[in-house]
Chain A
Amino acid sequence: KAGVTQTPRYLIKTRGQQVTLSCSPISGHRSVSWYQQTPGQGLQFLFEYFSETQRNKGNFPGRFSGRQFSNSRSEMNVSTLELGDSALYLCASSWGQDHGELFFGEGSRLTVL
C-alpha cells in the first residue's frame, strides 16, 4: 500500500512569507504527527492530530498551525517565516492513538532566505 506522502518535497521562501505543507497518511491511519528537524535541535514535535482533533501541540510559537481533514490528510502552516524556520518538516502517521510505530514521509525541505 502507498506510504505517507508529503508535498511539496522542496521549497524556498523569503522571510515574512507563509507556507503550507501537506501530508497524506497511509490509508486507514487516523493519527498524524508533525516534526521539525534541524541539525542543531534534532527532531522536535510540532503537532499530533487524531480524527480531525489536535491531541497535542509542541512548544512552538503561534505562527505554526495545523489541521486535519475528515479523510485524515493533514496540513501545517507557518506564517511570517523566519530564517530559523529553515528545516526538514516530517509527517508521520499511525493507525491509533497509542504511541506505537510511526510511518514517516520523506519530508518537506523548507529553506527561508
Chain B
Amino acid sequence: SQQGEEDPQALSIQEGENATMNCSYKTSINNLQWYRQNSGRGLVHLILIRSNEREKHSGRLRVTLDTSKKSSSLLITASRAADTASYFCATDAKGYSTLTFGKGTMLLVSP
C-alpha cells in the first residue's frame, strides 16, 4: 500500500483562490517532499520539509508538517491557471529504502 496518500484526489478552483492539498502517511519519516507534474511530463520538485521542521515557505507555496498526526499540507496561495497540474507528496520513511510517492491530487485552476 502507498506510504503517502493525498487528499483530495481532485480539486477545482478559480484563479486567485488558494488551494490546499493534504498528505497522510503511515510510518515515521526522515523527510517529506512535494512534487508537481504537468500532464504527461516529468515531476518537478517543489519543497522538502524535514521531520524536525513544522513549516516551510517557497514563494506562493507553504508546506506544513504535523508528525504527531502523520500529515502534511501544501498551500498554494493566489492560484494561477499555470498551477494546473498534479501534485504528489513523497515520503522518505524510516524502514523504507526508497522515496515513496502517493497517487497525487489533480488541481485545476480556471481563469
The stretch that binds B, out of A12-20, A62-70, A78-86, A95-103, is A95-103
CB of B98 within 8 Å of the partner chain: yes
The interface size of chain B toward A, counting residues with CB under 8 Å, comes to: 23
1/0 contact string of A42-58 vs chain B (CB within 8 Å): 11010010000001101
Q: Could you mark each residue 96-109 of chain B with 1 if its beta carbon is under 8 Å from any beta carbon of chain A, else 0?
A: 01111111100000
> How many chain A residues have a CB neighbour from B under 8 Å?
23
Task: Provide the residues of chain B in CB contact with A106, threshold 8 Å.
Answer: 41-42
Across the interface, A48 reaches (CB within 8 A) one of B90, B98, B101, namely B98
Q: A42-B103, A45-B98, A55-B97 are in contact. Are A104 and B2 (CB under 8 A)?
A: no
Known: A42-B103, A43-B88, A100-B31. A33 touches B98 (CB 8 A): yes
CB of B45 closer than 8 Å to a CB of A: yes
Say yes or no for B84: interface residue by CB 8 A criterion: no
Contact residues in B for A35 (Cβ distance below 8 Å)? 101
Residue in A closest to B99 when the chains form the complex, CB atoms: A99
**CB <8 Å contact, B98 and A56:** yes
User: Are B98's CB and A4's CB within 8 A?
Assistant: no
> What B residues does A102 contact at CB under 8 A?
33, 35, 43, 45, 90, 99
List 13 additional A-B contacts (Cβ < 8 Å) besides A92-B43, A106-B41: A42-B2, A42-B101, A48-B98, A56-B98, A99-B31, A99-B92, A101-B48, A102-B33, A102-B45, A104-B35, A104-B42, A106-B42, A107-B40
What residues of chain A have their CB less than 8 Å away from a CB belonging to chain B?
4, 33, 35, 42-43, 45, 48, 55-56, 58, 88, 90, 92, 99-107, 109
